[in-house]
Amino acid sequence: MIASALPVEGATQAPLNKMAIGDYLDENKEAPYCKGCGHIHIDKSLARALDLLSMDPGKVAVVSDIGCMGLVDSMLKTHTVHTTHGRSPAFAAGIELADALYGDSALKTIVMIGDGGATIGLLHLVELARMNPDVTVLIHNNFLYGMTGGQHSGFTPVNFITSTTLGGNIIPPIDICGMLATCNAGFLARVLATDHNLPEVIAQSISYPGFALVEILELCTGYGTRFNPQIQNKIKADLKQQGRRLGILSQDQDKKEFAISYKEKSHPADRADQRPEEGIPRLFAHQLTAPLRLIMGGTAGEGVQSAAHLFTVAAVLSGLFTAQKNDNPVTVGTGFSTSELIFSPDEILFNGISMPDAVLITSGSGLKRLEGMLVRMNPEGLAVVEADLTIPQVPGRVLRPSFRGLIPDPKNVNLAAVAAYLKHHPFLPIDALKEAIRRRGKGVEEALDAVERGYQAI
C-alpha cells in the first residue's frame, strides 16, 4: 500500500521523488553505531519514508530519546530535539499540541525511542495512546540497554541472556503493541528492522493522523548477538510462540485526533466567567477600628465555607479588608469544615489567628475541631454555639441559639449563625450580608430566610 495515498498532514505539494534521502539524513556523516547494528536501517528507513511522503524536512521534528538510537539527531536535517530518558513522547506531545492548537499545525513530530526508554517512559506511551495527539513513535526494540553495557529491559524476552540476566531472563517482556491496543491506540505495527517494507510501514505510521506506534525489532550486535549467538534465527519463531504478529496490527480511521477534540470541547461559547470583571462596590459602612479575627466551624456539606465567603463579601461591601482560610479533613465531604476569617479596616499583614475574637460553631464535628480555639478566645469576644452542644468553660460571652430546629435546610445553618453573631456584634450591617446573598444569585430566598431566622433566634 502506498502511504502517500493517505491524507498527510505537513506534506508539501512537491511532486513525489523530488526529495531524496539526503534531504533528511546526512549520508556523509558516519553513523555513530556499532558494525551491523540495526539502528542505521531504521534511520535510513525513516528518511526513505519522509522521502516517500515528500515531506519538507523543515516541517518535521524528530524527538529522540536516550540510548544509542538517540544519536540519530547528529545525522538528521530535520528539526531535532534530543531529550531525557523515556520522556521523548511527553516532550513530543508538548511540541505537537502547541503546533496543532497555537501554531500552523504543519509540523510532524516523530519520536525515536529504544526499549529502555519505552520501559522507563511507559506511562507516556500509555497516555499518548489514550490522548491520540498527532505523534508517531518508532520503538527501536533490541531487547536490552546497549549504551550502558547490555543490561535487560522491560522488553527482554524470557531466557534471553544479558549482562544482568546471566542465567537467562525470567520476567516475561512487555507486549507494547498488545498493551497500547487496550489503550485504544489508533495505529500499531510490529516489524523487523531488516524487513524490506520498513520504509513503507513507517510512512504509513507518519501518515496516520494521530498517535501511531511502530515496534521495530532488531538485535544489538554489541551485546545481544554476542550473549545469544543463536538468536538471529529464533526471533520470528519466538514471536510466533508468544502469539505476537508482525505487520500493521491496527489502523483505526475513525479516531479523532486530540487537537480536534480539544478545539471542539474547550471553547464552549455559553460558558460564563465565574469571576466577575468589576469589583465589589462599597455600599455600606462598618464599625471596626482594629482587625477582628473570627473562626467558624461545622459539619462538611452544611455550607460553612460558603457562609464564610458571603460574610467576607458583606465585609468588602462595607469597605473592609478580608482574609479567609478554609480547612477540612483529608476527604472534603466528611467530618468538620472550618473557615478562619479576618476583617480589618486596613490592609491585613499577618493573617493567622492565635486568639480568636469570635467563634461560631454549628455542629458537634465543628466543636470537636474548634474546642481548642473556643477555650482560648479573646475574653472580650463573642461566641455563638448551637444550643444542643455541651461546651467547656469559655473566656468570652457565649450565645446559645438552637438553629437546628429553626432552619429547614441544614445548608443554611451557618448563615443563620453569622446573622445571629452580627445581631449581637453589628460591626457591619445585616443588610450587607443580605446584599452579598443577592449578588450570589442562587438559593437567594432560602438563604435570606435563614438570615432572618438566625437574626431573630436570640
Partner 1 sequence: MECRQSQIVSGADMIATGAIYAGVRFYAGYPITPASTIYTAMMSDLPKLGGIAIGAPDEISALCYCVGASLRGMKAMTATSGPGFTLMVETIGYALMTETPVVIALAQRLGPSTGAATQSAQGDILLAEYCISGGYPLPVICPTRPSDAYEAVIRAVNIAETLRTPVVLLTEKELTMTWETVDLARLPYLEVKDRPMFRRDEPYLTYGFKQPADPPLFAPVGGPFKVTITGSAHNREGELIKDGPDAVAMLGHLDVKIRRHMPEITWVKYDPQAGSETLVISYGVTDRAARAAVQTARIQGLAVSHLTIYSLFPVPESILMSSISGIKRVIIPEENISGLYRSVLLPHLNAEEVIGINKVASLITPDEILAGILKKPCKD
User: Where do contacts with partner 1 occur on this chain (CB under 8 A)?
Assistant: 57-59, 61, 63, 71, 73-74, 77-84, 87, 90-99, 101-103, 106-107, 123-124, 126-127, 262, 266-267, 271, 273-276, 278-280, 282, 309, 312-313, 316, 319-327, 330, 346-352, 354
Render 16-62 in DSSP notation, one character per residue: TTSS-GGGTB-TTSPP-S-TT-THHHHHHHHHHHHHHTTB-GGGEEE
C-alpha to C-alpha distance for 454 and 63, rounded to whole angstroms:
64
The residue (of 315 and 457) whose beta carbon lies closer to partner 1 is 315
The residue (of 61 and 249) whose beta carbon lies closer to partner 1 is 61
Spatial CA neighbour of 437 closest among 452, 427, 457:
452
C-alpha to C-alpha distance for 49 and 45, rounded to whole angstroms:
6
3-state SS class at 65: coil
Report the nearest approach of partner 1 to the CB of residue 246 (Å): 30
Report the nearest approach of partner 1 to the CB of residue 59 (Å): 7
Q: Which three cell numbers stand for residue 68?
A: 544509542
Report the nearest approach of partner 1 to the CB of residue 279 (Å): 3
Give, in order, the Cα–Cα distances in Å from 207 to each of 51, 186, 200, 328, 393.
12, 12, 10, 51, 76
Report the nearest approach of partner 1 to the CB of residue 156 (Å): 24
The residue (of 108 and 425) whose beta carbon lies closer to partner 1 is 108
Report the nearest approach of partner 1 to the CB of residue 392 (Å): 22
C-alpha to C-alpha distance for 441 and 171, rounded to whole angstroms:
61
The residue (of 13 and 354) whose beta carbon lies closer to partner 1 is 354
The residue type of 392 is: P
The residue (of 76 and 451) whose beta carbon lies closer to partner 1 is 76
Report the nearest approach of partner 1 to the CB of residue 400 (Å): 30
Give, in order, the Cα–Cα distances in Å from 91 to each of 35, 86, 95, 212, 419.
31, 10, 6, 16, 54
The residue type of 321 is: F
Report the nearest approach of partner 1 to the CB of residue 147 (Å): 12
How far the first Cα of the chain sits from its last, in Å, is: 85
The residue (of 178 and 345) whose beta carbon lies closer to partner 1 is 345
The residue (of 91 and 160) whose beta carbon lies closer to partner 1 is 91
Q: What is the DSSP letter of 3?
A: G
